[in-house]
Amino acid sequence: MAEGKRERRESSSEESVKLFVGQVPKNMTEVQLLTMFREFALVDEVNIIKDKTTRASRGCCFVICPTREEADKAVNACHNKKTLSGASSPLQVKYADGELERLEHKLFVGMLPKNVSEAEVSALFSTYGTIKDLQILRGSQQTSKGCAFLKYETKEQAIAALDAINGKHKMEGSSVPLVVKWADTEKERQARRAQKAQSQASNVPNTDSQHPSLFGALPLGYVPPYNGFGYQAPGYGLMQYRLPPMQNQPGFHSMIPTVNQGNALRGIAPDLGPSMNPRNYAIPPASYMGSTYHLQHPLAYPGGMFSHRPLSSSPRSVPPAVLSSNSATSSSTGKGSGGQVEGPPGANLFIYHIPQEYGDQELSTAFQGFGRVLSAKVFVDKATGVSKCFGFVSYDSPEDAQSAISMMNGFQLGGKKLKVQLKRDNKQTKPC
């Protein structure tokens, strides 16, 4: 009885809006952030997003505003407008995933006959509420794609239309009922785009037999199916493949690149001569020597399985570190490729021209001959998952970083020469 239309104080009411904020220095508190955002808009709450296990800030937060108007005030005042001390770029302030869609009451309408107009769709859907926005999707010649997006004023209206029309209402001249669903969120669309990009990438054959990029889009550990895996089937999503372990493939042993082993012994060390200092000598030989230097774990070295490259390939095409069995070193790096741990000043490298097919693990492996790799990260395009060909490697000592530079800068890996430099220092002088 006492309920009625009292005030709603919950910060999660239908009205309230959640914003996602990036570029938040990891040492800021929720109270500090709340204070800051309240200079620009009404804010109910700030929640810092934390690592599940360490509870450390992940450098971003959610901000809850009581209304869309207040949220917009915060976005307009802060997005790309101010850089917090310690951040590398300006604050990113936007609606959290799914928030805009939730607020817009946006519906997708499918199975529209190609010849229906906006006016006809509008007439039908207006029965259930006020339409704020409506568009039929069209192709190049303005031909309808047979679907539309529309926005209602309220959620109740959208639900009413959805219930009444989806799967029930047939438009004039159509034998199938309309489909009405909530529109995909931005996140779902991104996921879809990524999927598409992936399958397209894997279906484009590249005939450059000299270069590993031929197989760059394939899963690591993938063996080109010269012996009957039906790889040619057009339209087949290669990401679905999970092949049995290489070692079990007939002919696997013949693929072990004796070529590389030869290259390693003949080429590497002498060729790096001029830039070598005594300290450098101390490290790589240990990895070359002994029986462990065979590629016992070929999966640790994606380049390895492409090395039925002709003998004519450059003697410098194999970095020293990847020749080692990584069993010893990888355990010492632990989650070396996982987190984003940074080493002390001078121990962090920026690497450019990383072969496209390299991931964190391969980068780590390629650089572990010079010291303990704290972390290795290759940057990838958010939408497509494709490598951007640059990344970071961190050691725990600046000396290791220096040897990595002298050994690996200019080193030919894949088609290009690596560029290896100290990472730019983004830290600002601390405010007192």
Residues that bind DNA (CB under 7 A): 18, 20, 22-23, 47, 49-50, 52, 58-60, 62, 88-89, 92, 94, 96-97, 340, 342, 348, 350, 352, 375, 377, 379, 382, 390, 392, 394, 419, 421, 423-424, 426
**Minimal distance in Å, beta carbon 54 to DNA?**
12
Cβ nearer to DNA, comparing 106 with 423:
423
**Minimal distance in Å, beta carbon 77 to DNA?**
17
Type of residue numbered 346? G
Extract the tokens encoding 164: 């009444």
Three-state secondary-structure class, residue 16: coil
**Minimal distance in Å, beta carbon 23 to DNA?**
5
What are the DSSP calls for 197-242, one per residue? HHHHHHHS----TTSGGGGTTSPTTPPP-TTT--TT-TT--GGG--
Angle (nearest 5°) at CA 266 between 260 and 270: 125
Cβ nearer to DNA, comparing 335 with 424:
424
Cβ nearer to DNA, comparing 59 with 216:
59
Cβ nearer to DNA, comparing 231 with 352:
352
Cβ nearer to DNA, comparing 229 with 352:
352
**Minimal distance in Å, beta carbon 249 to DNA?**
35
> 239 and 219 in contact (C-beta within 8 Å)?
yes
**Minimal distance in Å, beta carbon 21 to DNA?**
8
Residue 17 parent element (H or E): strand 17-22
Secondary structure E strands in 163-258: 179-182
**Minimal distance in Å, beta carbon 327 to DNA?**
25
Q: Which residues contact 204 (CB under 8 A, 6 or more apart)?
A: 217
Q: Give the helix, strand, coil percentages of the chain, each rounded to 5.
A: 35, 20, 45
Please compute, for residue 371, the number of CA atoms within 13 A of its CA located in the half-sphere on the CB side. Answer: 24
Cβ nearer to DNA, comparing 246 with 422:
422
Extract the tokens encoding 411: 């080193």
Count Cβ atoms below 10 Å from residue 68 Cβ, excluding itself: 15
Q: How many whole angstroms separate alpha carbon 137 and alpha carbon 144?
A: 6
6: burial class by Cβ within 10 Å (0-12, 13-18, 19+)?
A: exposed
Extract the tokens encoding 351: 């690497």
Cβ nearer to DNA, comparing 314 with 340:
340
Helices within 267-384 (DSSP H only) = 269-271, 278-282, 284-288, 327-333, 360-367
Cβ nearer to DNA, comparing 72 with 120:
72
**Minimal distance in Å, beta carbon 97 to DNA?**
4
**Minimal distance in Å, beta carbon 342 to DNA?**
5
Q: How many whole angstroms separate alpha carbon 116 and alpha carbon 127?
A: 17
